Structure formats: structure tokens, C-alpha cells
Amino acid sequence: MVVEMKIRVGFDGHYKDLTVQIADGDIRPYQPGDPLKVVGKSEKRLEALAKATGTAKYTFDQRPTGLLYGAILRCPHANADITTLDTTTAEQMPGVMAVLKSPEIFSTNSCRYAGEEVAAVAATSEAIAEEALRSIFVEYDVLPFAVTIDDAMGENAPQVGRRDQVNVERTTPRLARQRGGGIDEEGEKQNLEQMREKEAKVDALLREAPVVVSRTFETAVQTHCPLEPHGVLCEWKEGKLICWASTQATFGVKGELSSERGPVGADTQVICDHVGGGFGSKFSAGREGVIGALLAKKAGAPVRMLLDRRGEQTAVGNRPSSRQKLTLGVSRDGEILAYRVRSWGTPGTGTGGAGANNTGVYKLGEVDKVEYGVRTNTGGARAHRAPGWPQGAYGLESIVDEAALAIGMDPIEFRKRNDDHPIRMAEYDIAAERSKWKEKRARKQGIGPIRRGIGIASNLWFSAGGGGAAVMVRIHKSGRVEVRNGAQDIGTGTRTVMGQVAAEELGLGLADVQVFIGNTDDPRGPASGGSTTIGTITPAARLAAHDAKVRLLEIVADRKGWDASTLDLRDGSVVDANGKALIPFRTACGLLDEDAIEVLAERPTIDRRNPNYAGFSDTNAGVQIAEVAVDIETGEVRVERVTAVADAGKLINPMLAESQVRGGVIQGVSFALFERRTMDRQEGRMVNADMEAYKILGSMDCPEIDVVTLDVYNGKSNTSVMGLGEPPIVATAAAVANAVADAIGVRITSLPITPRKVLEALGATRTRSDEEGTKL
């Protein structure tokens, strides 16, 4: 059911009128020139004061009476089968209230990476829980292992998986499979045929291309390291599971724990008032969630089952590594003609999810991409803020810069030559101007050891949101307004923007509405993923508030004998057609017969597969320019400044949007310069599973960040907004790498760019043997 509507879309200097189809019952998307009072304003985060005073309660902070502490025993071997698991001593220890064996819950005695769960206990103190874990007797059948992609891809590589699982599996194009999982021979034959054709075509184009550049790039495994660890606090009440979860998907956790097919299978309520970071790693209850629920059930008492930092860094996700062999053919005037990608990455013991998104953003001509997932005996990858993109952007933007250099073209001109995104084309100019690109690009290096450089990279994203969310607005007779959705706020500002769109619709201030989130007993909401939360929740919130307003005004009109069609809510009052205040909002609410108006609105969509309208642009765009200083004697790299131009569709809250961009840039710089999981190949363990040897950017490495957020009336939904959690991290490391190459005249071909790599690239080292390269 759709209706046609004429809307204006675009941004300053780039508006156009469109006739679009919108869902029946929905309201017109925000329009340029709408007199918005709360939306578009930098309202303070609703929970900011609670967080700044330490009164915000996280899962970690819940303290029900009789609380027990859960702890997990992890396998010290990279690849092993459990042959004996004896927990008798632990069970008899005073203070130990429950003991679980992992094979009995998860139906496998295989441990395929060092850190996999073996057993768990709940005890009256953490010290007792630790002693209990140490008393558990385990015998392992220790198997050969591989923890780097080189080791897993070698000639006589040990088998990482079990049964018929091969170490290296093609993921792009996806292997043709039969129902049930076996290889579909016929489908594969077609795949291979198409791949051969593609390869031949690109071969021919590359042969003819006037300039061809080729290089292999690598990125290291990055862990999420949210400050609040993964985990739950579980309590059973009359057969129902109450689960405080540190999660970015309250309903996902509920679904998992209440699933009949799962090991818990109970009616579950998930609560998450605040979550101390997730970055993509907290979509699932995880094994720790299941363990927490079962420990609490067995002990008959509430159990806090949160991971320690070693477990956190080892077992609950990471951004997979990548090795990207890229070849780009270009014309003398800068047109990209053909592009070849061969890439590999390890997502841990599986093969999926390790793709590097190195074909995004530009018009790349003919593309021949083949990609492989490589199993290693390491902790599994999970979605990590723009999964696949930062590593792919690093490869793509590096090879693009090399091509520009090869033909003597300015990198921005080269990009513009191969781009036509309506927003990004404007962003290039804004970024160049604000960073004084031309001037800095042309500068001569000084004579000291410090070399300065400037580099650019782009991003895109596609986050107008989707269906599946519902928001309840309840207007009480007293004038109190509740806005309710059961999803969580991971620090992106979901709670606040949901309140803003509802308040706007009701002609109230943000302080006049109460926002409730993070409880699965409230209307269903999305996971905080794909930067889609704001685009999924706010249209439902706006529509719910709008419909509640209509109901209220109908009642007011009826009681007062006014014409409802002439009434509106504005500035805390019911107003007439001329905007004249008639009665205060609170007085109007007092006219209700029933206790409250309740409206539950679903997020409007045209249909399930097509949740968004034809707006200004299907994707949001960004451009970042990084400026670095490199000490060529010590190899130390500092990022001094980043100019980040970002598009988040219609800005609901400019300050919160800017915070997202700054945060993305900082994580991107950290990925560019510092972060890598280091695996010991002798025993197969992560040796830096902490927050010290695993290096994370701090205050003194923070660049000055100049953020420009464009206000784009995208028209993709009634709030016109696009999410912004992920896009700002995509381009940063790539821009930094390009700036480093500009500074020192040598390209560092792997991330992170450490002093070691800078000095090695500059040929200033006396390495005994350096055939190893970056550990992946």
C-alpha cells in the first residue's frame, strides 16, 4: 500500500524535487525549510549526567541480593580435544554454587583455539571462583595447529577444522553449495567458468592499459576491546529468565536465550540500560551468556558472568586480518579501466566474514575479484565497526594513490575522475579547502628528521534503516509523555534522538518526554548494527508521536467544539491554524477520558524487501584527509590532523553526529598506527590479550579532528536520516597510510604502521632475517 508524494531532497546548493512512493499511513519526510525546533538541534545526551556522575548502571553494576560470580575456564591449547574433564574438586569447594562443563552445553569436546570455553563455575566470590577453576582437572588430546594465514595455507598445513573442513575456502564468488552444505559440482563448474571469463577480460584490459600498478597490502587483526566486557547478569524468577546483558542487540539476546533449540530455552527478559561499548562484537548472547543463564539456574541464585580482559581480548571477536593483492590499470588521463583483487583473511576457525571490502566507492571499470577465507586456530571474528571496510579501503585507496602518482595526477583529481556520487563530489572540495590540501601537497620537506605528509581517502555507507521496529508513545492524562522502544543505546545517542523526533512532533521540548529503552518487555527494536538503528527507530517514533498527536487533537476538538483539522501542537500548546496558542498541552491532556493515549507505530516500509523510499541517494558518503608527521630516524608516526567530511542524511542531532565521526576517526587512527593481535606461532596463543601490549590510541596520540557534517534531506524515510556509526572509520586508516607515503616517499604495505615498519621500509635496519613480514 503506497501513496505518491512530491518531496524535496538534497542539501545546500543541491536540492531537487522528486515524486516518490511512500508507505500508506506514513507522513512526509522532513523537508528543507521545515520549522524544526528540536530535531536538528544539538540536544544534550539524555543519559549524559548519569554517566558523568557514575550513577548510570551497567550490567557490570547490578548487585542483586545473593549475587554469585561466574568464571570460565579456557583451553590453553590452540587445537585440542578434551579427553578428561573432572570437576569433582571444584564442586565440593565451599562457596562454589554451580559448575558446568562446556562439552555438555555446547555438544562438542573440541577446542579449536587457545581461549575456547572448557568449564565454568559460579561462586560466592571471584577468588573462590578462580580457585575452583584451577582445581578442575582436564586432559587434552593436543593437535597440530595454525594461527597465521601463512601457516594455514602452507603445503603441509595442519587441518584447523574438523571432518572435511578445508583450511582455505573461496568466499568471493561464493562457493556453490547444495542444500545441506555439500559442494554443488554443477554450480561450481559455472562459477569457475565465469571466473575464468572475468579473469581473461581483465587480463586483456590490463595488457592494454597504459599504466598498471600492483601491490599486496596487509592488515592485522584488531580486537574490539569494549571497556565493559561481554557478559550477562542472570537471575531466574518463577521459571522466567531475567538477563541484564552488555549487548548491542537486546532482542537478539532474548531470541537466543529463549529459543527452544538453544541450551537455555526459557522465557527471557533482557535488560540493558547502558552498555559499555560493543563496536559490533555484542550482537549475540554468546557462550558466556548461555553459561551465565545456566549457572544461575543451577545455583538458584543470580550470577554475574562477565569476562575478564584476557577472555575479552581472546574469545569474543575481532576484525579479521587481510592480505590484498591488488592490480589497477588506468588510462593516462586517470580513468580506471580494470581492477584485479586476490585477497585472503582469517576470521578464526571459520571461513566466512573475513572479506575485505576493497571494491567500494569508485567506478573501477572491469573488476575481477576472488577472495578466500582462511581458517586458523584463533578466536573468531565478529562484525567490527564497518566490517571489511577499513581494511578494504586501506588496500583500495593505497593502490588508487599509487596509480595517481604513476600518472602524475593529483590524488583528489584522480578520485573525482572516477567518482560521481552526488554528495561525495561536493565533499572532496570541502575537505580540500579546509585542510589546505593543494598548498600542503606541494610543500617541500624540511631538512630535519620530521617529514610531513597529507593523504586522502573516501567512504560510503548505506544506512537509511529498515523495518522491524515499533515505538510506543503514551500521552498520560497528566501530560506526561513516554516514548518506548526495547532496543539499546550503545553510546551512539539512540535514546536521545528517539526522544527528539517524538518531542518535535508533539510540539514539546526534549525534557518534556521520557524515553525508555533497553528492555525487551517494551516494543521490539533493532540491533545496533550496520548504522541502521537511527534510521530504523526514528521513523517509527515520529509516526507514533504523530498519530498520538492526531488522537489527542481529535479529542480536544471534540471536547472544545473546535475543528480538529485546524489544530496542531507547537511550543507546548494546542495552536490554531494561525499558530495562535489555544490551551497548554497539559490542559489538553487533562481533557482525556481515559488514562492515556497509547499509540504503537511500526517503522513504515513499502514492503519487507524495500524498506526505504527513493530519496536523494541510496548511500551516504564521506571524505577524509589526514596529515601526519613521521620521524624518519625513529620511525615514530603522529597523526596531527584529520579533516572528516561526513553525510548522515538529515541531522537529527549535529553534536552527537559529530561525536560519532570523531570516534570513528580515532578508532581508525588507532587501527592505522597501533592495533594488532599478536599470535605466538609456537604454542598458538595470543600474547597481548590485555590493554597494554595490545596498543590502543590514547589522549596524547589524538589528532585534531575537523568535522564537517552535511545536512542532507535524503528522503529515504520520514526522518530522512542516515546512520553514522560506521562510515567515519572506513577511510581514516587509508588516509593516514596515504599521508605517510606522501611524507616519506615510501609506501608501508601493512597496517599498523609502526616504527619498525617505517624503519624497515626506509632500509635502516639490520635485521637478521626478515622473511616473516607482518603476522596475520
Partner 1 sequence: MFAQEGVLKHMPPKSDPPREDPRIGEGVSRRAFLKGASLTVAAVGVAGPGARVVRGARLDETVVPILGPGPVPMRFRVNGIERTLDAPPSTTLVDALHDVLGLTGTKRVCDRGSCGACTVMIDGRTVDSCSMLAIDAIGREVTTVEGCGTPENPSELQKAFVECDALQCGFCTPGMVVSCTALLRENPHPTRDQIAHGISGNICRCGTYQNIFEAVELAARKGGARGR
Partner 2 sequence: MKPFEVAQPRTLAEAVAASGRSFTETRALAGGTDILSTLKDRVQSPDRLVNLKGIPGLNEIRVVGKDLVIGALATHSEVAEHDEVARRHRALVEAIQKTGTPQVRNAATIGGGLCQRPRCWYFRHPDYDCRKKGGITCYAQEGENEFHTIFDNGTCCAVHASNIAPALLAYDAVLTIHGPEGTRELPLDQFFVDPDDNVTIENVLAANEIITQVRIPGETASYPQAYVEAREKQTFDWALAASTVVLRMAGGTVKEARVVVSAVAPRPMRLPAVESMLLGKPNAATVAAAARKALDGATPLAQNGYKVALLEAILRRAISTALERGGKG
DSSP 8-state class, residue 429:
H
Of positions 3, 49, 166, 581, contacts partner 1 by CB under 8 A: 49
The residue among 273 and 505 lying less far from partner 1, judged by its C-beta, is 273
Joined grid coordinates for residue 519: 528492555
**Contact mark string toward partner 1, 98..137, x via CB under 8 A:** --------------------------xxxxx--x------
Q: Who contacts 476 (Cβ-Cβ below 8 Å, separation ≥6)?
A: 482, 589, 595, 596
Regarding 4 and contact with partner 2 (CB under 8 A), the answer is no
Beta carbons within 10 angstroms of residue 570's beta carbon:
17
Q: Which is nearer to partner 2, 83 or 767 (CB)?
A: 767
CB of 61 to partner 1, least distance (A): 4
Closest CA to 86 of 114, 118, 116, 46: 118
Task: Give the cell for residue 88.
Answer: 569433582
Is residue 59 involved in binding partner 1 (CB under 8 A)? no
User: Going residue by residue from 65 to 104, which x/- string records binding to partner 2, judged by CB under 8 A?
Assistant: -----------x----------------------------
Pick from partner 1, partner 2, none: which does 413 bind, CB < 5 to 8 A by kind? none
Work out how close the CB of 124 gets to partner 1 at its nearest, in angstroms, rounded to a whole number.
5
* CB of residue 639 to partner 2, shortest distance in Å: 11
Distance from C-alpha of 244 to C-alpha of 76, rounded to nearest angstrom = 29
From partner 1, partner 2, none, interface partner of 673 (C-beta below 5 to 8 A by class): partner 2
Determine which residue in the list 9, 90, 98, 114 makes contact with partner 2, applying CB under 8 A.
114
- For residue 556, the minimal CB distance to partner 1 (Å) is 35
In whole angstroms, the minimum distance from the beta carbon of 761 to partner 2 comes to 10
Q: Which of 131, 256, 368, 489 binds partner 2 (CB under 8 A)?
A: 131
Q: Which stretch binds partner 1 (CB under 8 A): 209-217, 231-239, 462-470, 484-492?
A: 484-492
Distance separating alpha carbons of residues 399 and 405, to the nearest angstrom: 10
Give 654 or 755: the residue with its C-beta nearer to partner 2: 755
Closer by beta carbon to partner 2, 119 or else 621? 119
Q: Minimal distance in Å, beta carbon 738 to partner 1?
A: 21
DSSP string, 734-774: HHHHHHHHHHHSS---BSS--HHHHHHHTT----S-----S
Q: For cell 574438586, name the residue.
A: 89
Residue 359 contacts partner 2 per CB under 8 A: no
Which residues from 209-238 bind partner 1, rule CB under 8 A? 225-229
All residues at 6 or more sequence positions from 610 whose CB lies less than 8 Å from its CB, including other chains: none
Alpha-carbon gap, residue 686 to 680, rounded angstroms: 6
Query: How far is it, in rounded angstroms, from Cα 169 to Cα 186?
Result: 18
Does 754 bind partner 2 (CB under 8 A)? Our answer is yes
Q: How far is Cα 622 from Cα 124, in angstroms, rounded to an integer?
A: 51
- 194 - beta bridge partners? none
Asked whether the beta carbons of 688 and 752 are under 8 A apart, the reply is: no
CA-nearest of 637, 641, 662, 639 to 729 is: 662
Cα 562 from chain centroid (whole Å):
50
The binder of 211, among partner 1, partner 2, none, by C-beta within 5 to 8 A per type, is none
CB of 395 to partner 2, least distance (A): 23
Which one of partner 2, partner 1, none is in contact with 114 (Cβ closer than 5 to 8 A by kind)? partner 2
Q: Does 682 bind partner 2 (CB under 8 A)?
A: yes
Among partner 1, partner 2, none, partner that 70 touches (CB below 5 to 8 angstroms by kind): none
The residues with which 371 forms a beta bridge, in sequence order, are 172, 343
CB nearer partner 2, residue 2 or residue 687: 687
Q: Would you count residue 695 as binding partner 2 (CB under 8 A)? A: yes
Q: How far apart are CA 25 and CA 518, in angstroms?
A: 27
In the bound state with partner 1, the residue whose beta carbon lies nearer, of 629 and 691, is 691
If contact means CB under 5 to 8 A according to the sort of partner, which of partner 2, partner 1, none does residue 67 touch?
Answer: partner 1
Q: Which CB sits closer to partner 2, 248 or 313?
A: 313
Select the span of 377-385, 497-505, 509-517, 626-634 touching partner 2 (CB under 8 A): 626-634
Looking at beta carbons only, is 76 or 422 nearer to partner 2? 76
End-to-end alpha carbon distance in the chain: 51
C-alpha dist (Å) from residue 604 to 356, 501, 616: 33, 15, 18
Min dist CB 326 to partner 2, Å, is: 26
Q: Should residue 708 be labelled a site residue for partner 1 when binding is judged by CB under 8 A?
A: no
Among 636, 654, 708, 711, binds partner 2 (CB under 8 A): 636
Compose the 485-504 pattern: x for residues touching partner 1 by CB under 8 A, - for all others.
-----xxx------------
Q: Does residue 723 bind partner 1 (CB under 8 A)?
A: no
Is residue 54 near partner 2 by the rule CB under 8 A? no
Which runs of consecutive H residues, i.e. helices, occur in 628-775? Answer: 654-673, 727-730, 732-744, 755-761
Q: Rule CB under 8 A: say whether 451 interacts with partner 2.
A: no
Please report, as residue ranges, which positions from 734 to 763 form the binding site for partner 1 (by CB under 8 A). Answer: none
**Site for partner 2 (CB under 8 A): which residue of 216, 564, 678, 711?**
678
Looking at this protein, which amino acid is placed at residue 503?
Answer: A
Residue entry with cell 497548554: 584
The footprint of partner 2 on this chain (CB under 8 A) covers a number of residues equal to 45
- Output the smallest distance, CB 58 to partner 1, in A: 7
C-alpha distances (whole Å) from 255 to each of 14, 125, 243, 468, 723 are 44, 30, 12, 14, 25
**Which residues are CB-contacts of 602 (< 8 A; sequence separation ≥ 6)?**
467, 469, 470, 540
Interface residue with partner 2 among 34, 91, 130, 188 (CB under 8 A) is: 130
Alpha helices in 177-317 (DSSP H): 185-208, 250-258, 286-299, 309-315
Which 305-364 positions form the footprint of partner 1 (CB under 8 A)?
308-309
Name the segment binding partner 2 (CB under 8 A); options: 167-175, 328-336, 521-529, 698-706. Answer: 698-706
- H helices of 492-644, in order, are 494-505, 533-560, 585-590
- CB burial of 250-277 (b: ≥16 within 10 Å; e: otherwise) equals bbbbbbbbbeeeebbebebbbbbbbbbb
The reply to whether 577 sits near partner 1 by the rule CB under 8 A is: no
Nearest CA among 625, 648, 613, 237 for reference residue 431: 625
Q: What is the DSSP string of 103-172?
A: HHHHS--EE-STT-EEEEEEESSHHHHHHHHHH-EEEEEE-----SHHHHHSTTPPP-SSTT--SEEEEE
Binding to partner 2 by residue 116, rule CB under 8 A?
Answer: no
- Chain centroid offset of residue 677 CA: 19
Among 16, 51, 162, 174, binds partner 1 (CB under 8 A): 51
227 forms part of the interface with partner 2 (CB under 8 A): no
What are the CA-CA distances from residue 646 to residues 33, 393, 395, 723 (Å)? Answer: 21, 16, 21, 11
Q: Applying CB under 8 A, which part among 52-60, 354-362, 625-633, 760-768 lies near partner 1?
A: 52-60
Query: What are the DSSP calls for 480-517, one per residue?
Result: -EEEE------SS-HHHHHHHHHHHHTT--GGGEEEE-
Q: Is 528 in the site for partner 2 (CB under 8 A)?
A: no
Note the residues at the interface with partner 1 (CB under 8 A). Answer: 44-45, 47-58, 60-61, 63, 67, 93-95, 124-128, 131, 225-229, 274-279, 308-309, 490-492, 655-656, 658-659, 662-667, 690-692, 696-700, 702, 704-705
Note the residues at the interface with partner 2 (CB under 8 A). Answer: 76, 114, 127, 130-131, 449, 631, 633-636, 638, 673-674, 678-683, 685, 687-688, 692-693, 695, 697-701, 754-756, 759-760, 764-770, 772, 775
